[in-house]
Amino acid sequence: MDLAMESMAASIGVSVAVLRFLLCFAATIPVSFLWRFVPGRFAKNLYAALSGVLLSYLSFGFSSNLHFLVPMLLGYASMVLFRRHCGIITFFLGFGYLIGCHVYYMSGDAWKEGGIDATGALMVLTLKVISCAINYNDGMKKEEELSETQKKNRLIKLPSIIEYFGYCLCCGSHFAGPVYEMKDYLDWTERKGIWSPSEKGLSPSPYGATLRALLQAAFCMGLYLYLVPQFPLSRFTDPLYQEWGFWKRLGYQYMSGFTARWKYYFIWSLSEASIIISGLGFSGWTESSPPKPKWDRAKNVDILGVELAKSSVQLPLVWNIQVSTWLRHYVYERLVQKGKKPGFFQLLATQTVSAVWHGLYPGYIIFFVQSALMIAGSRVIYRWQQAIPPKMSLFKNILVLFNFAYTLLVLNYSCVGFMVLSLHETLASYGSVYYVGTIIPIALILLSYVIKPAKAARPKSRKDE
C-alpha cells in the first residue's frame, strides 16, 4: 500500500502526505452525499462529527483530532461558564492556540515546500468556534443593539455538545472551508427555513451544481500543474532573475501570483462540491420563472471576479469569500463605534487579524498590510472616478482602466510575500521592482488629501465599489 502511495504521489509530483490529504479531501464528497440519507437529527449530527474525526485521522493522523479538540472544548466551556463574555474569551483563546500551533509546526514552511499538516484545518475550525461563541453571546443582547446579520445569526439557546461537534467537523469543511454559521447548520440539520420541504414546494437538486464544481476543480488543477514548473518561487533568489529588466521581473511576479492562485481555486472548487452535494450549500431560490436553486453558501471564490477585478475593493468579495465575510462580520464591523463610519484603522486591523490567522511569517504580515494599502488606494481612484461629470465619460473610462491596471499590478506584487514568506525573499522581490506596488498606493492615499472630489458628485449606492 505504501509503495502504491509513493508511486502515485511521485507520478503527480506531490509528497505522500499531500496525496493522502487529497484523497481524504476528495472523500468528503461521497461522505457528504451519504449524510442526506442518515435518518433523524441526532444521527445526522453524530454522523457529521464521526465522519469528520475519521477523515482527519486518515489525513493527518491521531494527533490532529487532539489539536481540534482543544479550541472546540475551550469554546464550548466558555459558552457554558461565561456566556456574557464567551465571544471575546473564545476569540483570544482560539487565536492563541492557533498561533502556538503555527509557531510550533512552522506550518508555512511545510506548505511552501509542498507538505501538509493539520494547522490549515485548524485555521478554519478556529473561525467556526469563534463565530459560534460570539453568536451565543449576541443571543443575550437586545435586538436594537444588533445589526441585521447579527440578529439573523444569533443563538438564543446553547447548542448541544453533539450539535456543536457536528457543526465543527461536518462534511470535512474544516479541511479547507467554507466557513458557515451554526444557525444555518442547525436549520439544515433540522430541515427548517430554506431547507424546509414546504419552501416553495420544491426540493433543490444538487447534482448539476456539484458537477460544475468538479469540472471547475479538474480544470484548475490541470492548469496549475502545467504552469507551476515554469514559474517556480525559487526564481526570486536566482541570480538570473536579478539580471532581467524591470518589466520582465514585474511580469514574472504577475505570472507567479497567477499560477499560485489556481491551486486555491482547485481546493475551493472541490470543497464547494462537497458542501453542495450535502445540501448545506443551498442558499435559496432565484426570482426567475421557474425558480432555480442558488448554491452561494458553498462558494469561496469567483475566478473571473479575481482575475478581472476592476477595483481592489472587489477582491474580498470574490476571493476566499466566506473567510472575508467572517472577517467583515466578526472583526471589521464590530470595531466600528456606533454612529461612526469605518476607516483605515478598521481595515488595517481586519487585515492584521487575517495575517495572524495565516501565521506569524513576515511575508504574511507584509502582504496583509500591503492589502490594506492596496484597497485604500483603490478607493481613492474610485472616488475620483465617481466625481467626474457624465459629459467627461472618456476621462472616467480612463480612470476605470487605471483602477483595473492598479489592482492587477499591486495584487500580484503584494502576493509574492504571501508565497515566499521570509522577510529576506519578500523584500528582495519587492526591491527588484523598486517597491512600485508600495509606493503607488501610498502616493494615492496622500494625494487624496490634496485632490478631494465634491461630495455631491458621489453616487447614492456604492455597491459597485
Of 400, 374, 357, the closest CA to residue 127 belongs to 357
Closest CA to 185 of 165, 200, 213: 165
Q: Which parts of 36-118 fold into alpha helices (H)? A: 41-60, 62-81, 86-105, 107-112
Q: What count of other Cβ atoms lies within 10 Å of the Cβ of residue 132?
A: 28
Q: Residues for the chain: how many in total?
A: 465
Contact 334, 138 (CB under 8 A): no
CA distance 61 to 359: 22
In 3D space, the residue among 168, 158, 132 whose CA is nearest the CA of residue 49 turns out to be 168
Q: Which DSSP symbol is given to 328?
A: I
Tell me, rounded to whole angstroms, the distance of Cα 113 from its chain centroid. Answer: 21
Task: Assess whether the previous peptide bond of 39 is cis (omega < 30° from 0).
Answer: no
Please report, for residues 44, 61, 63, 121, the alpha-carbon distance to residue 24 in angstroms, rounded to integers and kept in the order given: 20, 12, 16, 13
Alpha-carbon distance of 310 to 415, in angstroms, equals: 18
Question: Which residues are within 8 A (CB) of 303 and not within 5 positions of it... i.e. 6 or more apart?
Answer: 216, 220, 265
**Among 223, 225, 421, 413, CA closest to 303:** 223
362 preceded by cis ω (within 30°)? no
Residue 125 CA to residue 101 CA, distance in Å, equals 13
Which residues carry out catalysis?
A: 358
List the one residue out of 213, 210, 128 whose CA is nearest residue 169. Answer: 128
Cell for 402?
487605471
User: Which segments of 282-361 does DSSP mark as H helices, in order?
Assistant: 303-307, 315-318, 321-327, 344-358
User: How many Cβ atoms from other residues are within 10 Å of residue 274's Cβ?
Assistant: 30
Contact 89, 78 (CB under 8 A): yes
**Beta-bridge partners for 285:** 293
Coil, strand or helix at 253: helix
- Amino acid identity for residue 49 in this structure: A
Cell numbers of 158, please? 446553547
